[in-house]
Amino acid sequence: MEMRDIIFSLVMTLSSFVLTYEWLGRFRDSPANSLIILSAVVMVGALAAMILSVDIRLRKIDAELEARERSLRINIQSVETNVDRKMNEVENRVDAAMEAFNRRQYR
């Protein structure tokens, strides 16, 4: 979680307080109902926390996918190396058999 995410969450919460206070103050002459203001601030704070939670989960999933990709890449390289080694062995056997066959043919 980055510092800017926390700052944006605080700005969201503060702006919801100011917006609700000013908006309720325009509709009647009495001071704004503090319960409505508090519930709006809590709602926006919960929304900000939810967004940050989703961000943390997505980063965790991304890190897990990168780790799996890295391990798959290593495994594929290992398989490729083994296949190359076995193919070289087969190629050498075939070359030896072809040489033996050619020697027998020319005798």
Q: For residue range 60-87, what is the model confidence (pLDDT) as tens digits?
A: 999 999 999 999 999 999 999 999 999 9
Residue pLDDT, tens place only, 26-67: 776 666 677 888 888 889 989 988 999 999 999 999 999 999
* N- to C-terminal Cα separation, the chain: 79
Q: How confident is the model at residue 107 (pLDDT cuts 50, 70, 90)?
A: low
More confident site: 107 or 5: 5
| pTM of the complete model | 0.63
